[in-house]
Chain A
Amino acid sequence: MIRMRITRREPLPKWARVVIPIAAIVTTLILSAIPILLAGGHLWKSYYYLFYGALGTRFNLLETFVKASPLLLTGLAVAFAFRAKFWNIGAEGQLLAGALAATVLGVSLGGIPGFLVLPVIIIGGFLAGGIWAAIPAILKTKLKVDDVVSTLLLNYVMIHIMGALLFGPLQQPGSSWPRSSAIIEAAQYPILLTRSRFHLGILIALLAVLVIWFINKRTVFGYRAKAVGVNIRAAHFGGINTTAVILWTAMVSGGLAGLAGVGELCALQYRLIMDISPGYGYSGIVIAMLGNLHPVGVLFSALFFSVIIVGAHTMSRMTGVPTYIAEVIQGMALMIMLIFLLFTEYRIKVVRK
């Protein structure tokens, strides 16, 4: 009889951390052939249109960046929190908090000078997301409430707050739909490249990658967050204020997710609707894991995800394979990455009896 056994293995060298995500993506793309064929698609044509749709033309390429910007911000938000072992599953709610703040400010800031409107909205959206994430951080540090549960459940609280406001004080006068009035023109993100939707938010997201990388790598705060993440007891023993580290980590994490909400509102929708996010906050968790919690890794995994999402539309139009295939591929990418990560710590041995 042949049996398989899982045993622990020695730590892998550093280059493995780069190779493994790439191998996971390549494997995902190869295995995507199965659902594509099952859906009756022509294999090579489907792959071709998947990539053509995402990267083939100037407009498509820029659209891929448009899609990547919220994914990048929520991915960074989750990665930043996870590094300090603050299990933020609540990027979705924090994104909505950011979008909500941007809406309130965006419809009401007509009275101040135009050049001040966007900075106020960006800061306001960041703070709204940050404060929404600070609630579970305080519950965790003061009352030992499990952060996985509290961050997740606060997503639903925020969805219902948003619903109540969109059916109430924020509802566009005269509308029977749950939607707000449009934000003023000064509150809209400028488009940076002509004949596209390549907007300011993409630049903000790319800047965030640099900032988070810098915080992690170079600053006292980044060092402290890492210390708290690996051994909170030793960090406390060594004089680090672990409560403050967790709180600030949560605020920055929530703030990044809030910025994703600001971007969706001020660059694409211009008014708050219930479907402002198709689950970017949850995708952020997958993207953070696929990117190995490293900001540059998150950048590449967010781009990979948006290639799949954007490309799937073209593929669907040209080959008849449904766009849902994009979600199947995303799910596969996570599963494969987790399996690969498992193999970095364990190995399978075949035993013959």
Chain B
Amino acid sequence: MATSQKPIASMSSITKRFLDVTANNDIDFNLYPGEICALLGENGAGKTTLMNILFGYYACDEGEIFIKGEKAELSAPRDAISRGVGMVRQHFALVPSQTVLENIIIGTDYGKGLFLDLKSARTKLLRLQKKFGLQVDPDARVWTLSVGEQQKVEILKALYRDVDILIMDEPTAVLAPAETVELFNTLKSMVKEGRSVVFISHKLNEVMEIADRVVVLRGGRVVAGRKTSETNIKELANLMVGRDLLERLEKKKVRPGKPVLEIENLRALNDKKLLALKGLNLVVRKNEILGMAGISGNGQRELSEALFGTRDPIGGTIKINGEAPRLGSPVSFIRLKMGRIPEDRIETGLMMDLSVEENLILENHATPEFQRFGMMNFKKIHQFSEDLIGAYSIMTAGRDAVTSSLSGGNLQKVMLARELAGRPAVVVASQPTRGLDVGAMEYIHQRILQEKERGAGVLLISEDLDEIFALSDRITVLYEGVIMGDVPVAEASREQIGLWMSGVTK
């Protein structure tokens, strides 16, 4: 991708404001044919906004866009698609009850008169699947597919519309490591035939691995552009964060105490009524972090939901500090001092249309401190929420600001502030840093370590092995609904954990 080439897409002096926030500030961005260009930056740096403008989802306030040398007025995604721009967003736009094939042809000219021409659509789809290694059953209903497979459908949707430019917004956030490898192969084969890919990410390793060129955004501005062959992770991290990364986490030596979370023979069904937890046993002690590695879809969701009280197991016992909560009752787990960080903070954890304060008080709004005879004591509530906003340095316009105005890292801080405010005996954190930038990730890690030092027992469920190794005292692996093994971190090797993750015991 010699820069002497003409760009296939060119954005110049793009500025986009949301009320009082400038998301993109005078940004110039070029994309060349046949390259993978990474857009790197922390959450809130303006990466997604910039690409939403190229995809016609937002209109920019200032600036011009040229696609294939022509000035483009994009007022809706279909304008962008007709010019060959496709985007796979973080939240997929698929119809769950329809098949893969039906999803792919929606909105295209697939008809012969009044009738669907599924046959030629199928031929075209199969050809694309073969060419790019995107194996999904065309007749499977989308709701039965894993997240990784749904992403393939989204990519196929774009390819089916013959896009030359494919924008991928944080595509690996939802993928297991093996799926990521597959995705990268697909992207590479796409650029080989002259298409271009924009890869939005804040994961430095991935950017170095997949991209030809990196454009770094910070605070809505472009701070640097580099060829990956001429830079390194350290430089990129500094450019992205604007400061040197902190040293590795400091783990204080604390001796684990008595068991605070005991799970015996836990059995639970998944949403499709299949057995997802097959008699699971584990113990977490006071002052200890138990890291649970494993590829998503092996029962992590069902285990965390059983521990949140939002899923009713079909058998087994859970004890918190020796006491058994009522299974399937969130309030019972809250009363026994369980701090719960769900993987899906936007759908399950937070009420995005309410204020920051209203989210902070969700679990203790009915305690005698905050209400009397059903009337809320706003003086104390305001004090409480302002204290938490300060203690967790939540960046918000104020306690009354609507939660959806917060960035991803700050949303997770609200989540943590609420769940840790009651000094829980046990903390169950499921994928606590998924989708967060380096700065926020560091903060969350430190908070989790602090909880352990304070005396909580922590169950950390994560797909990120670096995170597991950095934080845990003991590591365990969940595979097909059972625990594969349990090893102190000092004795754990990545090979061993990797074997367990793929179901090999020895």
Give A residues with C-beta under 8 Å from B: 5, 7, 10-11, 218-221, 223-224, 226-227, 230-231, 233-241, 349, 351
Contact = CB atoms under 8 A, between A and B. Distances in A.
19 contacts: A7-B59, A220-B365, A220-B374, A220-B376, A227-B358, A230-B351, A231-B347, A231-B350, A231-B352, A234-B348, A234-B362, A237-B308, A237-B310, A237-B330, A238-B362, A239-B331, A239-B362, A349-B59, A349-B75
Interface in B328-378: 330-331, 334, 340, 342, 347-354, 358, 362-363, 365-366, 371, 374-376
Interface residues of B, number: 31
Contacts of B374: 219-221
Contacts of A218: 375-376
Contacts of A238: 330, 334, 362-363
Contacts of A226: 354, 358
Interface in B306-338: 308, 310, 330-331, 334
A235 B19 CA distance: 29
A237 B338 CA distance: 12
Given A238-B362, A239-B330, A220 B371 contact: yes
Interface string B53-93: 00000010000000000000101100000000000000000
B73 A351 contact: yes
Interface of B: 18-19, 59, 73, 75-76, 308, 310, 330-331, 334, 340, 342, 347-354, 358, 362-363, 365-366, 371, 374-376, 402
B363 A233 contact: no
Contact of B358 (A219, A223, A233, A239): A223
A223 B376 contact: yes
A122 to B, nearest CB: 22
B286 to A, nearest CB: 24
B348 A237 contact: yes
Most interface-central of A10, A218, A226, A238 (chain B CB within 10 A): A238
B390 to A, nearest CB: 22
Contact of A10 (B18, B353, B365): B18
Contacts of B73: 351
A231 B331 contact: no
A239 B340 CA distance: 12
A237 B349 contact: yes
A48 B347 CA distance: 53
Contacts of B19: 10-11
Contacts of B366: 220
Contacts of B358: 223, 226-227
A311 to B, nearest CB: 38
B348 A230 contact: no
Given A5-B76, A234-B362, A219 B348 contact: no
B372 to A, nearest CB: 10
A238 B310 CA distance: 10
B212 to A, nearest CB: 33
Nearest to B350: A234
Contacts of A220: 365-366, 371, 374-376
A230 B347 CA distance: 11
A220 B363 CA distance: 12
Contacts of B76: 5, 7
A224 B348 CA distance: 16
B351 A231 contact: yes
Q: Which of B19, B331, B350, B362 has the most chain A CB within a 10 Å cutoff?
A: B362
Nearest to B402: A11
A240 B353 CA distance: 17
B353 to A, nearest CB: 4
B89 to A, nearest CB: 14
Nearest to B366: A220
Given A239-B330, A351-B75, A219 B375 contact: yes
Given A220-B374, A237-B342, 14 more contacts: A7-B76, A11-B402, A220-B371, A224-B365, A226-B358, A227-B351, A230-B352, A230-B354, A233-B348, A236-B330, A237-B349, A238-B330, A238-B363, A349-B59
A239 B308 CA distance: 10
6 closest Cβ pairs, A-B complex? A239-B331, A238-B362, A230-B353, A5-B75, A231-B351, A239-B330
Contacts of B330: 236-239
Contacts of A5: 75-76
A10 B334 CA distance: 36
Nearest to B59: A7
A61 B366 CA distance: 44
A10 B20 CA distance: 11
A234 B75 contact: no
A256 to B, nearest CB: 19
A234 B59 contact: no
A46 B75 CA distance: 44
A239 B326 CA distance: 12
A326 B330 CA distance: 51
The residue in A11, A218, A219, A223 that gathers the most chain B C-beta atoms within 10 A of its C-beta is: A223
A233 B18 CA distance: 28
Nearest to B310: A237
A7 B371 contact: no
Given A220-B376, A226-B354, A7 B349 contact: no
A233 B347 contact: yes
A323 B269 CA distance: 62
Nearest to B308: A237
Contacts of A235: 351, 362
A235 B358 CA distance: 11
Nearest to B57: A8
Given A230-B351, A234-B349, A238-B363, A219 B310 contact: no
Contacts of B59: 7, 349
Most buried by B among A219, A230, A237: A237
Nearest to A4: B75
A236 B308 CA distance: 10
B351 A219 contact: no
A10 B353 CA distance: 14
A7 B365 CA distance: 38
A92 to B, nearest CB: 30
A207 to B, nearest CB: 18
B395 to A, nearest CB: 18
